[in-house]
Amino acid sequence: MPIKRVKPGDFTRTPVEKAPDPQLGHAIIAKERYTSPDFMKLEWERMWKRSWLMGCREDDIPEPGDYVCTEIGREAILIVRQADMSIRAFYNVCQHRGNRLVPPGIGKLKSFKCAYHHWEYGLDGDFVRIPDKETFPQGTPCQGLPEVACDSWGSFVWYNLNKQAEPLAEFLGVIPEHLDPYHFDRMAMTRDWTIEWDCNWKASVDAFNESYHVQGIHPQLLYYLDDLDIQIDCYGRHSRYLVPFATTSPRVKETSDIPPLIRLIMKQAGMDPADFDGKTREVRLAVQKWKRENGAAQGYDYSDLNDDQLTDDYHYLIFPNITLNVHADDLMLFRQRPHPTDPNNMFYDLQNFRLLKQGEEKPERPEHRFYRHGEKSLGQVLDQDAYNLPGVQLGMQSEGFPGLWLGDQELRIRHFHKVIDDYVYGPDQAETP
């Protein structure tokens, strides 16, 4: 029985039409891009330095002087709330002897003073004070902190190291139209972890860009979602797939008893599974109907979301490194950052958000935590993903492995690497590695 989906003509703000599949062939994706320091350098120069990157949330820095220092590769970027409430971004580096001004993280300052010789910069990056200024006969550098392009969308602050970058809105393309109906600004962060993972950052992106691995490393999810009836859409540099939740996979027999993970979805919606007489594969539509009818009374405004969005995973990749598991009531965000020097290492930023009830006071922001690979459980499903990745990275370095042999279920991975190639080698100039 095929899964019922919202179709053209039904209410939706997020476009639901299937995008035509890009014709990207079936070639092997060469493995060297995961392991080669040379490719890493090209990727840095031509892709990371030219892409809009997620820096922080707007409400991480609510007041003038609030700042976030975020790292990408060898760079550290200061994102600073200005006196006029605008947001600007600067390189976090003193123009005197190159010292970093502040460590990574969130803070609040009236000015940025270098700890070395106390060169001091205002929130706007301009010099405030240089001790013994008269001992520099050549004068002072003509600018303060070098500025970085910065803009906001979807409650997040983005920056771009390329001063000639296209506007953020142009870079994001269809993404705002697709995701604005979720109102991320109504969500509050509940977890902010970074885990240093022993793999290339692209291995992490790949791990979440296909559903084929569900039957492999997440067998329990076969009783939670439909991993085969998935709509894959590739848009320019970004992509998504739509995964029906609150149902069982066609790979397993439908159970008489409603599986525990699906019961959990029902309970989170305020339904009582013990009071439900339908079959397991009828739960998804029943939850949609329930949330549509009861959401407002529970304090949740789902009016901009279509029915499928009330249960399903609308899963987006915002190129190059933001993976979004988007649901009506929550958002799970992965930001995948390269290690500054080692292609076999990365930083996996894991942030969870939950939709606040109307009128609910925003809870305090959770403190950022940092863990080594495997040091701390991320929850069963992400642990399964994490456990697998070091083996993938080691295998990439084997003489016995030429590269990724991708199937149709992995189209988003092929698309992702095509977009990287477009940056690294120029459009339609893709070559190995």
Partner 1 sequence: MDLGLKGKKAVVTGATKGIGRKIVEALADEGVDIAICSRTAEEVEETLAVLRAKGVNAVGEAVNVRDGEAYKAWIAKAGEQLGGIDILIPNVSGGAGMDSEKNWQRNFEVDVMGSVRAVETAVPFLKKSGEGSVVFIVSTNAIETFAAPMAYNALKASLITYSKQLGQFHGKRRIRFNALSPGPIFVEGGAWDMIKTSQPDFYNATIAAHPFGRMGSAEEVAKAVAFLASPAASWVNGTHLIVDGGYTKGVHF
Cα torsion angle, 181, 182, 188, 189, sign = negative
Q: Which of 77, 214, 222, 386 binds partner 1 (CB under 8 A)?
A: 222
Task: Pick the piece of the chain touching partner 1 (CB under 8 A) from 132-140, 187-195, 256-264, 396-404.
Answer: 256-264
Q: What string marks each residue from 234 to 253 as x (binds partner 1 by CB under 8 A) or -? A: ------------------xx
Q: Which of 23, 135, 164, 256 binds partner 1 (CB under 8 A)?
A: 256
Q: Which of 202, 213, 238, 263 binds partner 1 (CB under 8 A)?
A: 263
How far is residue 31's CA from residue 47's CA, in Å, rounded to a whole number?
18
Is the distance from CB of 153 to CB of 176 less than 8 angstroms? yes
Look-up: residue for tokens 């894959």?
232
How far is residue 332's CA from residue 322's CA, in Å, rounded to a whole number?
10
Cα 385-68-115 angle, rounded to 5 deg: 120
Q: Does 108 bind partner 1 (CB under 8 A)?
A: no
Q: Does 223 bind partner 1 (CB under 8 A)?
A: yes
Of 218 and 238, which has the nearer Cβ to partner 1? 218
Is the distance from CB of 146 to CB of 153 less than 8 angstroms? no
Task: Pick the piece of the chain touching partner 1 (CB under 8 A) from 167-175, 217-225, 325-333, 409-417.
Answer: 217-225
Pairing state of beta strands 322-326 and 330-338? Answer: antiparallel
Number of residues that bind partner 1 (CB under 8 A): 20
Q: Does 219 bind partner 1 (CB under 8 A)?
A: yes
Q: Which of 85, 142, 274, 297 binds partner 1 (CB under 8 A)?
A: 274
Is the distance from CB of 48 to CB of 320 less than 8 angstroms? yes
Of 86 and 268, which has the nearer Cβ to partner 1? 268
Single out the residue of 186, 183, 226, 195 nearest to residue 4, CA to CA: 226
- 19 token code pair: 């995008």
Q: Does 259 bind partner 1 (CB under 8 A)?
A: yes
Q: Does 26 bind partner 1 (CB under 8 A)?
A: no
How far is residue 80's CA from residue 107's CA, in Å, rounded to a whole number?
10
Which residues are near partner 1 by CB under 8 A?
A: 219-220, 222-223, 252-259, 263, 267, 272-275, 277, 279
